[in-house]
């Protein structure tokens, strides 16, 4: 019996989960899992190193490397072959730390609320002293 997969922690769900290739007319698509999406976001957008990503997602660094390679392969396939992209699935949970702005006086609908233990965690403009 295989060992169950450990849940990977992601900072937030993506705002958009489908990207459609328009000009090809093809109905083919690739599925990017939520953990692959998070690894791409942290590595390519936030410019974190693999060890930092592993620490934030509570997985090993080799797991991050495998997720990154898989995500790059899928994105390249979609871009080169004109396939749509869907983001779904994966063994993950959204981090529950800091669901609201860390400043107590800030309202629940703070636009800059952070959901992870990342060093970027700070208050929003409206609650900065």
Q: How many C-beta neighbours within 10 Å does residue 43 have?
A: 19
Tell which phi-psi region holds residue 116, choosing left (phi > 0), alpha (psi between -120 and 50) or beta.
beta
**Residue in the structure block whose two tokens are 């390519």:** 44
Query: What domains, with CATH codes, occur in the chain?
Result: 8-95 (1.10.10), 98-129 (no CATH)
Give alpha helix (H) positions in the chain: 34-40, 50-57, 61-81
Q: Which residues of the chain have pLDDT under 50?
A: 98-102, 107, 109-115, 117-124, 126-129
- The Cα 46–Cα 10 span in angstroms is 14
pLDDT digits 0-9 by tens, 75-103: 999 999 989 999 998 888 877 554 444 45
- CA triple 14-15-17, angle to 5 deg: 65
- Looking at residue 21, the DSSP 8-state letter turns out to be -
As given in the structure block, the two tokens for residue 35 are: 């953990």
- Residues facing residue 92 across a β-bridge: 8
């Amino acid at each position: 019996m295989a060992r169950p997969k450990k849940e990977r922690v992601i900072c937030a769900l993506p705002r958009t989960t489908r990207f459609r290739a328009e000009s090809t007319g093809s109905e083919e698509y690739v599925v990017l899992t939520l953990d692959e999406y998070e690894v791409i976001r942290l590595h390519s957008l936030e410019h974190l190193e693999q060890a930092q990503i592993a620490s934030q997602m509570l997985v090993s660094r080799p797991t991050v490397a495998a997720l990154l390679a898989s995500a790059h392969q899928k994105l390249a396939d979609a871009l080169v072959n004109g396939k749509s992209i869907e983001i779904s699935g994966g063994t993950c949970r959204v981090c529950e730390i800091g669901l609201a702005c860390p400043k107590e006086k800030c309202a629940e609908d703070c636009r800059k609320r952070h959901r992870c233990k990342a060093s970027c965690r700070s208050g929003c403009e409206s609650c900065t002293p």
